[in-house]
Amino acid sequence: MLTALSAVSDPVRIKLIRDLAGSADWTRSCGSFDVPVGKAALSHHFSVLRGAGLVEQRDEGPRRVNRLRREEFEERFPGLLALLLRDDGAVAAE
């Protein structure tokens, strides 16, 4: 539980989750997100999201594509994903 809450307490990771939520499963490679960090940090953030059970990854040729684990996450932490996806703009405002 602390793992999930910490994973979700980062502006970069929230943006990743939101972008991922707005795309179909397995359509977004790691490099396709517009976040202001280098690829090493990005890789780290995906690792954290994976560790929290929020994101699943799969190799597809040279790229690694992602999927938001909606159902699994909802079962373990009911309402948390919905909370993150609502209220757009609240992140940047703080």
The binding site for DNA (CB under 7 A) comprises 6, 10, 12, 29-32, 36-48, 57, 59, 61-65
**Residue 36 binds its own copies (CB under 8 A):** no
Give the total of residues touching its own copies (CB under 8 A): 21
Dig out the tokens for 20 from the structure.
Answer: 């991922």
Q: Which of 21, 37, 41, 82 binds its own copies (CB under 8 A)?
A: 82
Specify the residue, 2 or 24, whose C-beta has the smaller distance to its own copies.
Answer: 2
Within 13 A of 45's CA, how many CA atoms are on the CB side? 22
Mapping DSSP to helix (H, G, I), strand (E, B) and coil, where does residue 73 land? helix
CB 40 within 8 Å of CB 57: no
